[in-house]
Each structure stands twice: as structure tokens, then as C-alpha cells.
């Protein structure tokens, strides 16, 4: 059993600031701090495991995009957008939507869709022009959330490799640190295209993208049109929808150690309200890479629950057994300390939740 001294932090991005829930490894009692970041809309909050810093990305209608940084677990914050800009004359960067720390540095995904890299922990940024210059860029269409780069998945060891997810451009991969990119969408549908154009090279509306642990090329994605698994680092995808209650949803969370285990939160449909089917909340888990599914409902509301959970709003922690967390756009945050078997609501009335991430420390 792990040391009792471990601390668990849940990092929450909301429409009105960042929040941090703190608990111990039992994950029964939580204390909430926030709102941070001067109540700016915050799309994503992550922990940089290399430095222990918390980084929050967002954008304010008045003051534009920024990445906020705290080196004391949220007590004090600084902010910067130095270099977080497209060249003069282009549509300005409106907001930061996603953050990720990889071996190649810190990355920020923005709206309108593009990628930036920081080599100084978020104090200054450089445009990764190779993605913006991809010939397909002019054909990417904004989804319901705008033309956003909402997931950045660095390879855990190879600093040159990176996947990104764009709504609606699809999944793109670089193997040369961002100089060149290729679409990785083969096998994923675009049901909103004419019948003979449902499997394009790019233009899919990916909602969530995750790399399974083990670095063997296993990936998962929740798409606007289906749920998928890849066993070749995203070069090709197969549907894992059979057994699930719908083909629609936003988040996907991988288990911290088992590449066969994935958590999804299917919503009824893109035209049916986009809430949990029949107003009954459930997380769906596979233990066999998507061949079979089980619904996990114990402790989740099963009556008149019209929850929506957005693309970045579900995460696992690194403890044993793994904790799973999701935040609803109506402001409730649910947690399981036993890999999804049972759930409890640990924050009921937060602002609309955009993202959930976790950090486990040794004390």
C-alpha cells in the first residue's frame, strides 16, 4: 500500500476561474480552494510533473489569451501571453484551450486552432508554425466550441513526437518536433459529410484523444461520430462502439497503468440534447480495449439528471486503485476512489466545468 503521506489534487478549469480540490490518498474528504486566475474563463489546468507547477490556460473577452502559472499549488499566480500570438493581420489568438507537458517542452493549444511551445515553463511562447501551415488548415471548420485545438498528447519519451486533436480538423501527428504534420484519422467517421465522403483524410470532429500507458501505440478517441481504438499510434482506427448506449460523447480517460482500460461518458446524441441517456448518469468502462463495456452508476444520479460532461472534463489519478473524476458543465464534480465502482459528488455548485486533471504528490 502506498504511503499515507501522499496528497491528491484535482485541478479544475471552469468558465469562471480555476479551482483546486485537495485530499489525501483515501480520497474521501476534500477541501476546495479558488476561484483562481481572477475568475477568467479557464479551459484547462494541468500540473507540470517536472517542476510541480500548476498551469492554467484560458482567455478573457476583455484581455485575451493567457497561461497562468502557480509554483505553490495555487496560492499565488502569475500570467503571461508573451509570444502567444499569430502574425500581424491574422485572426488573433482568442483563448488557450489545452496545455500539455512533454519531453519537448510545454505546449499550448489555442483558438483559432494552432499550437505554441514554451521552453521556459510558460513565461514565453513560440508558434509551432508547421501545424498552422498544413495544407488542410484552411478547410478545418469550427465545431460547437469554436475552431479549437483541445487535446495535446506528447509521446512520453520521444520529444519529437506529438499528437493533437482539433475540432473539426481531426487528429494530426508530428514526428519531427512540429515541423511537419500528417492527419491520423483513417477509420473515423464524419457522419455530417455526404454519404460517399464519410471517411475523409481530415476534417473529423474528434472530441477527446488519449494515449494508453505502455507506449506501444495504443490510443483511444471519443469522436463526435463514434468511439475508437488505435493500435498503431493513430495511423488507423477501429470502432469500439458496440455495447455502448450511444455513439456520442466528449471525454475519454485512460487508466494510469492498464492500456486495456478506458473510461467514457456517452451522451445521448448530438441532436438529442447531449446529456446522459434517459437522464441517468453513468460512466462506461472497458477492461479489454473496447471489446466489452460495463456501465458504472453506483452513487451517480439516476433520476432527472441531465448532465453534460465536456471534452476535457474526465481524468484518472495515478494511485492504486486509480481514482476517476469527472465534472459536469452544470458545475458538479464526481469522484470514484475505486476505479469507477462507486461514486460520490465532491463539489456540487462550481461554475460550468471545462476540464479536470489530477496531481499526486508525496507530501
Partner 1 sequence: MDANPGAVSVHLPRALLVLFPGAPSRVEVEAGTVREAIAALDARWPGMRDRLCDSRPAIRRHINVFVDGAKATLDTELRPGGELLVMTAISGG
| 307 CB neighbour count, 10 Å cutoff | 22
Give me the least distance between CB of 1 and partner 1, in Å please: 44
Give me the least distance between CB of 105 and partner 1, in Å please: 21
Give me the least distance between CB of 79 and partner 1, in Å please: 7
Sheet with 162-167, edge to edge strand ranges:
148-154, 162-167, 170-174, 182-183
- Tell me the window of 26-34, 59-67, 143-151, 185-193 that interacts with partner 1 (CB under 8 A): 59-67
9 vs 125, which CB is nearer to partner 1? 125
Q: Which phi and psi (to 5°) does residue 30 adopt?
A: -130, 145
148 vs 316, which CB is nearer to partner 1? 148
Distance from C-alpha of 350 to C-alpha of 331, rounded to nearest angstrom: 4
CA neighbor of 47 nearest in space, from 8, 86, 93, 17: 8
Binding partner 1 by CB under 8 A: which of 70, 81, 118, 221? 81
Determine if 64 is a binding residue for partner 1 (CB under 8 A): yes
Q: Which three cell numbers stand for residue 93?
A: 489568438
Binding partner 1 by CB under 8 A: which of 92, 242, 272, 273? 92
86 vs 192, which CB is nearer to partner 1? 86
Determine if 62 is a binding residue for partner 1 (CB under 8 A): yes
269 vs 352, which CB is nearer to partner 1? 352
Give me the least distance between CB of 83 and partner 1, in Å please: 9
CA neighbor of 67 nearest in space, from 21, 127, 20, 118: 118
Give me the least distance between CB of 128 and partner 1, in Å please: 16
| 110 close to 73: Cβ distance less than 8 angstroms | no
* Angle at alpha carbon of residue 115, lines to 258 and 76, rounded to 5°: 80
Determine if 79 is a binding residue for partner 1 (CB under 8 A): yes
| 197 CB neighbour count, 10 Å cutoff | 10
List the alpha helices (DSSP H) in the chain. 129-132
Determine if 38 is a binding residue for partner 1 (CB under 8 A): yes
Query: If you count them, how many residues does the chain have?
Result: 363
Give me the least distance between CB of 69 and partner 1, in Å please: 12
| 138 CB neighbour count, 10 Å cutoff | 6
CA neighbor of 219 nearest in space, from 173, 276, 169: 173
Binding partner 1 by CB under 8 A: which of 88, 157, 196, 362? 88
Binding partner 1 by CB under 8 A: which of 22, 80, 132, 342? 80
Binding partner 1 by CB under 8 A: which of 3, 29, 87, 195? 87
- Tell me the window of 63-71, 221-229, 296-304, 305-313 that interacts with partner 1 (CB under 8 A): 63-71
* Angle at alpha carbon of residue 48, lines to 256 and 316, rounded to 5°: 25
Show the binding pattern over residues 224-243: x = contacts partner 1 (CB under 8 A), - = does not: --------------------
Give me the least distance between CB of 81 and partner 1, in Å please: 5
* Angle at alpha carbon of residue 253, lines to 303 and 52, rounded to 5°: 120
Binding partner 1 by CB under 8 A: which of 3, 29, 31, 61? 61
The separation between CA 24 and the C-alpha centre of its own chain, rounded to angstroms, equals: 24
Q: Which three cell numbers stand for residue 60?
A: 478573457
Binding partner 1 by CB under 8 A: which of 56, 67, 93, 262? 93
Distance from C-alpha of 204 to C-alpha of 197, rounded to nearest angstrom: 11
- Tell me the window of 55-63, 142-150, 291-299, 331-339 that interacts with partner 1 (CB under 8 A): 55-63
82 vs 320, which CB is nearer to partner 1? 82
- Residues engaged in binding partner 1 (CB under 8 A): 38, 61-64, 66, 79-82, 84-90, 92-93
Amino acid at each position: 500500500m502506498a504511503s499515507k503521506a501522499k496528497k491528491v489534487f484535482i485541478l479544475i478549469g471552469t468558465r469562471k476561474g480555476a479551482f483546486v480540490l485537495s485530499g489525501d490518498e483515501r480520497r474521501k474528504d476534500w477541501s476546495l480552494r479558488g476561484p483562481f486566475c481572477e475568475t477568467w474563463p479557464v479551459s484547462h489546468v494541468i500540473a507540470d510533473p517536472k517542476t510541480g507547477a500548476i498551469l492554467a490556460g484560458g482567455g478573457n473577452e476583455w484581455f485575451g489569451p493567457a497561461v497562468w502559472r502557480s509554483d505553490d499549488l495555487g496560492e499565488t499566480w502569475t500570467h503571461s501571453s508573451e509570444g502567444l500570438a499569430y502574425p500581424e493581420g491574422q485572426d488573433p489568438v482568442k483563448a488557450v484551450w489545452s496545455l500539455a507537458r512533454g519531453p519537448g517542452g510545454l505546449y499550448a493549444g489555442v483558438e483559432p486552432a494552432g499550437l505554441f511551445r514554451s521552453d521556459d515553463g510558460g513565461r514565453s511562447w513560440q508558434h509551432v508554425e508547421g501545424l498552422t501551415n498544413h495544407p488542410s488548415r484552411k478547410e478545418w471548420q469550427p465545431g460547437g466550441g469554436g475552431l479549437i485545438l483541445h487535446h495535446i498528447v506528447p509521446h512520453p519519451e520521444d520529444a519529437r513526437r506529438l499528437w493533437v486533436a482539433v475540432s473539426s480538423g481531426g487528429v494530426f501527428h508530428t514526428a519531427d518536433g512540429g515541423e511537419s504534420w500528417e492527419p491520423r484519422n483513417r477509420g473515423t467517421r464524419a457522419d455530417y459529410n455526404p454519404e460517399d465522403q464519410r471517411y475523409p483524410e481530415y476534417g473529423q470532429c474528434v472530441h477527446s484523444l488519449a494515449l494508453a500507458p505502455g507506449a506501444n501505440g495504443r490510443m483511444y478517441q471519443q469522436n463526435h461520430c463514434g468511439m475508437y481504438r488505435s493500435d498503431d499510434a493513430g495511423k488507423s482506427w477501429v470502432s469500439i462502439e458496440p455495447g455502448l448506449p450511444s455513439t456520442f460523447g466528449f471525454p475519454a480517460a485512460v487508466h494510469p497503468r492498464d492500456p486495456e482500460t478506458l473510461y467514457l461518458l456517452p451522451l445521448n446524441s448530438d441532436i438529442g440534447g447531449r446529456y446522459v441517456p434517459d437522464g441517468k448518469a453513468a460512466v462506461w468502462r472497458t477492461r479489454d480495449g473496447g471489446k466489452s463495456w460495463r456501465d458504472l452508476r453506483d452513487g451517480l444520479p439516476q433520476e432527472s439528471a441531465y448532465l453534460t460532461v465536456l471534452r476535457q472534463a474526465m481524468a484518472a489519478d495515478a494511485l492504486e486503485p486509480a481514482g476517476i473524476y469527472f465534472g459536469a458543465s452544470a458545475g458538479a464534480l464526481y469522484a470514484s476512489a475505486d476505479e469507477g465502482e462507486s461514486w460520490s459528488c465532491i463539489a456540487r455548485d462550481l461554475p460550468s466545468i471545462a476540464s479536470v486533471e489530477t496531481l499526486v504528490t508525496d507530501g
